[in-house]
Amino acid sequence: MTTTPVSRDPDQDGSTEALRATRAGGLLPADAALRLATLLTAVNSLGNGLYFPLGVLYFTRIVGLDATAVGLGLTVAGLVGVAAGLPAGRAADRWGARRVGALLWGGTGITTAAYTLVHSYAGFLVAVICATGLQMASRGVQGALYAEVLPAATRVEARAYLRMVTNVGMGLGGALGAVALQLDTRAAYMTVIVLNALSFAGPALLLPRLPLAAHARERVALDVDAPAADRWRAVRDLPFLAVTVLNAVLVVQYTLSEVGLPLWIVERTEAPRWTAALLMIVNCVLVALLQVRVARRASQVPRAVRAMGWAGLLLAGSCAVYALSAGLSPVWAVLSLTAGAVVQVLAEVLSAAGGWTLGYELADARAHGVYQGVFGAGMSAGMMAGPALVTVTAIAHGTLGWAVLGVVFAGAGLAVAPAVRWAQRDGSWRGEPA
């Protein structure tokens, strides 16, 4: 039995050198699909960055809703989004990721704009469940979209490049969003909401114009009349599900930056509050500098497995360094937290690149929509569970909690290797030649 994953498309219409080399106008990639994807990503991430710092504050300060009730509504919306990932992926297999992605992004734009009409908790629930559900469902479809429009040989590196663009866009958007926060008026908040809505609706109109890669044009689509068990094969692919769960555990690291560290800094250290912003800037800058370079070295399964293992160990190391910051003087606390953030960034870029590679290479190329829907749902679930996990470990129990969290990360990263070996042994189940 071969150990080569079924999704290794024989597409060589692009190479790594082609991706690195020429850039249109010296700024954008020369590849037409990646160039358009870059523009769409830049616009959308700029809008998301604008909205991110003030979304919850709009509903609490401007609409007047209770903060706890808003948090509950966002949790319910997140659960709906996780559940929507799989059917959205199946729809991408059935009607094409470009078409389905455009509908999801367009719907997200419309429902996001509806935030400006919210005056009650019921209206908030309807709007946020629809907008968040559609946005989260689009994550898996986005993975399938990249499988359709990007050459297999450069797909992982291209995703790393787009992640760099996302970080830059989010950073610029966040800086502009800070202006709206300072103004703190209904008009300022609503302007940001409308701009964020347009950042989805506008790119949605251009998604269908992304050109298909050669392998996607030539691939025989999964028979729509096939038995349901075949159409939903990803949910029966236990090795792939195992890798998805382990990746979801590593995804909890994003919660460290967004939730865990701000709480830790305020409640458990002598570091000034602005340290949280400093760590976020360090993260954005280093991800932008390192992600593409790391992705080039993790675009094959063996290297991706090693990257995931190292990511788990580095995350455990960052947890240990964060724990040391408690009880230190303000200066040393800031230095300790910054050192931990640097170690965490190394883990982040490794796990992101490794996850992309495994998510594609271990999937059945005939059903990328469902497979990427499952993988994306796993990531969404990890990010949803992250705040609770970080809070009940590190924030609640200090050094002991950080130790538990570190063991969880290290265990997940090291467990990827046997899970991938299982997937490769079981490759014939997904259609590989024996």
Lowest mean pLDDT among 133-137, 180-184, 215-219, 353-357: 215-219
Task: Give residue 388's pLDDT.
Answer: 82
Task: Give residue 422's pLDDT.
Answer: 93
Task: Give residue 284's pLDDT.
Answer: 81
AA letter at 97: A
Q: Which residues pair with 28 in a beta bridge?
A: 24
User: Tens digit of pLDDT for each residue in 58-113?
Assistant: 898 899 988 788 878 888 888 888 888 888 888 888 888 889 999 999 999 999 99
User: Tens digit of pLDDT for each residue in 238-248?
Assistant: 999 999 999 99
Task: Give residue 231's pLDDT.
Answer: 59
| Orientation of helix 97-113 relative to helix 121-149, angle to 10° | 160
CB atoms within 10 A of CB 284: 19
pLDDT band, residue 216 (cuts 50/70/90): low
Task: Look at residue 13 and tell me whether its pLDDT is greater than 50.
Answer: no
Task: Give residue 14's pLDDT.
Answer: 42
User: Tens digit of pLDDT for each residue in 278-336?
Assistant: 888 888 889 888 998 999 889 899 999 999 999 999 999 999 999 999 989 999 999 99
Task: Give residue 342's pLDDT.
Answer: 96
